[in-house]
Structure 1
Amino acid sequence: MQQRKHHQQPHPFLSPQQQQQQQQQQQQQQQQQQQQEDRFNAINTNYTSSSSSSSSSSSSRDTAAAAAAAAAAVHLEPKYTMRV
């Protein structure tokens, strides 16, 4: 496999417009996740000690913790189901 990095385009066959759409979708997913974390923190304030400290950064560890919190919140809409 050749590992040539031209312009570090994630998908060379996509037009710039499509790439921009993909980036916007990723940003929307992060915003949805942030809303879910905020809502859960408002409901269960005991959990905020571990999740709200670095809620702005979306590392895999934080998303895993948020997913565990979301799994514990049974009343969340299925629209907000997490994909880790």
Structure 2
Amino acid sequence: MLETTNWDLLDAYQRICDEAGHSMLTVSIAWLLWHEPIASVIAGATRPDQVTQNAKAGSTAVSADVLRAVDELFA
């Protein structure tokens, strides 16, 4: 079960993404790829539009400052 603090973390994560102008999906995939030696992300999809969203998210540049903020948030 998600504790209140986990919901607070998700709210803070949403704010980081909103301020950066990116979706949570885009930042999540970018954050995963930012960590070496990760070279790819296997993202699930059940609808064709999700495949498109995942591909777009994986090719969108997210600043290192945003990725560091995510690192700090979930450290």
TM-score range for the pair, normalised by the shorter chain length: 0.3 to 0.5
TM-score normalised by the chain length of structure 1: 0.36
TM-score, with structure 2 as normaliser: 0.39
Which structure's CA Rg is the greater one?
1
* Structure (1/2) with the larger helix percentage: 2
